[in-house]
């Protein structure tokens, strides 16, 4: 466990994932934040992992005076796929979209949307700011009647929202075949016959080479999306829009430069709790 300044918590959490963490859970601790950082490793390796993580944070300038390492626990292997469910509750990701577990249905009013997601450990339950901001960007994108691409679909929540908002067709890709199977189930639960307007593929943007889209959504971390930017720009139809989320506000200037290198211009931005999403279009 790490006790860190609140203003650095998101940057430190992102660095933990880069170092190989399989999960980070945050808890308020007064003026600071407690980060429970998880690694899949034998108990005997935890001390080495811990030392390496702190060394990496220090090298990145993310280990200020006052940050602390707190004693951690070793968790025995268990069925985490079931254990986490007791904490999963409906989340109003935007004013009009609520994401909820299938076992806790939610009543919505006209103009609102309820999406039932059983993620089976895939990302996208609506609880994280990056998913909320991505859904907010999708609401503003005007996707009705348009061909869309969802890169890194995870649970499929963004693709479901695109279809429900009127997209003509949605292609969803993810590098994890298990995630694709899970997204397929979520599509069937939420879309019924409208699932025929979707296509699920294992891979990244390279597996749709030659196709083009009006709306492209990528809710993935900046270091993962950067090498994909040229291909995203090439797959964007004239007048199309690319939506990016999973970004930290501190990365805004650097990410704008990456977009410019790929021939993309930042449009509208949305932010929440140090997280950022943005729309972009090709230079005219």
Q: What is the CATH number of the domain that holds 154?
A: 3.40.50.150
User: 177 is in which domain, residue-wise?
Assistant: 83-282
Element at 125 (helix H, strand E):
none
Confidence of residue 96 (pLDDT cuts 50, 70, 90): very high
Q: What is the mean pLDDT of residues 55-68?
A: 87
Range of lowest pLDDT (74-88, 123-137, 216-230): 74-88
Same domain, 100 and 134: yes
Tell me if residue 145 falls in helix, strand or coil.
coil
pLDDT of residue 255: 95
Whether the per-residue pLDDT at 24 is higher than 80: the answer is: no
Same domain, 92 and 168: yes
Same domain, 70 and 118: no
Whether the per-residue pLDDT at 79 is higher than 60: the answer is: no
Tell me if residue 80 falls in helix, strand or coil.
helix
Q: What is the mean pLDDT of residues 63-67?
A: 86
Q: What is the pLDDT of residues 144-163, one digit of tens each?
A: 999 999 999 999 999 999 99
Whether the per-residue pLDDT at 15 is higher than 90: the answer is: no
Question: Residue 126: how many CB atoms within 10 A of its CB?
Answer: 23
Q: What is the pLDDT of residues 165-219, one digit of tens each?
A: 999 999 999 999 888 999 999 999 999 999 999 999 999 999 998 899 999 999 9
pLDDT of residue 66: 82
Whether the per-residue pLDDT at 224 is higher than 60: the answer is: yes
The mean pLDDT value of the chain amounts to 88
Same domain, 71 and 99: no
Same domain, 222 and 266: yes
pLDDT cut 70: percent of the chain above it: 93
Nearest Cα neighbor of 66 from 30, 36, 39 is 30
Whether the per-residue pLDDT at 238 is higher than 90: the answer is: yes
pLDDT of residue 77: 52
Q: What is the CATH number of the domain that holds 39?
A: 3.30.70
Any idea how long the chain is? 284
pLDDT of residue 180: 92
Q: What is the mean pLDDT of residues 208-236?
A: 95
Q: What is the mean pLDDT of residues 273-279?
A: 94
pLDDT of residue 45: 75
Q: Which of 45 and 162 is assigned the larger pLDDT?
A: 162
Whether the per-residue pLDDT at 74 is higher than 80: the answer is: no
Same domain, 263 and 127: yes
Two tokens, residue 218: 């990528």
CB-CB contact of 201 with 184 (8 Å): no
Same domain, 224 and 243: yes
Same domain, 158 and 200: yes
């Amino acid at each position: 466990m790490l006790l860190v300044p609140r203003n650095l918590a998101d940057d430190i959490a992102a660095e933990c994932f880069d170092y190989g963490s399989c999960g980070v859970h945050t808890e308020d601790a007064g003026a600071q934040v407690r980060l429970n950082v998880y690694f899949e490793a034998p108990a005997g390796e935890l001390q080495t992992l811990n030392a390496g993580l702190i060394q990496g944070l220090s090298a990145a300038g993310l280990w200020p005076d006052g940050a602390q390492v707190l004693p951690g626990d070793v968790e025995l292997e268990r069925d985490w796929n079931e254990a986490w469910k007791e904490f999963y509750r409906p989340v109003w990701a935007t004013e009009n979209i609520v994401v909820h577990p299938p076992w806790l249905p939610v009543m919505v009013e006209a103009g609102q949307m309820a999406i039932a997601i059983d993620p089976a450990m895939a990302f996208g339950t609506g609880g994280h700011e990056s998913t909320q901001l991505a859904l907010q960007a999708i609401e503003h994108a005007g996707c009705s009647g348009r061909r869309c691409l969802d890169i890194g679909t995870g649970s499929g929540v963004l693709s479901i929202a695109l279809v429900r908002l009127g997209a003509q067709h949605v292609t969803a890709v993810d590098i994890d075949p298990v995630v694709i199977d899970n997204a397929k189930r979520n599509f069937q639960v939420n879309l019924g016959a409208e699932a025929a307007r979707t296509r699920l593929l294992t891979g990244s943007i390279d597996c749709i080479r030659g196709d083009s889209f009006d709306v492209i959504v990528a809710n993935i971390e900046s270091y993962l999306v950067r090498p994909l930017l040229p291909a995203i720009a090439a797959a964007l139809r004239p007048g199309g829009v690319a939506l990016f989320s999973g970004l930290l506000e501190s990365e805004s200037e650097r990410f704008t430069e990456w977009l410019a290198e790929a021939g993309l211009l930042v449009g509208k931005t949305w932010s929440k709790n140090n997280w950022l999403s943005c729309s972009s279009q090709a230079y005219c």
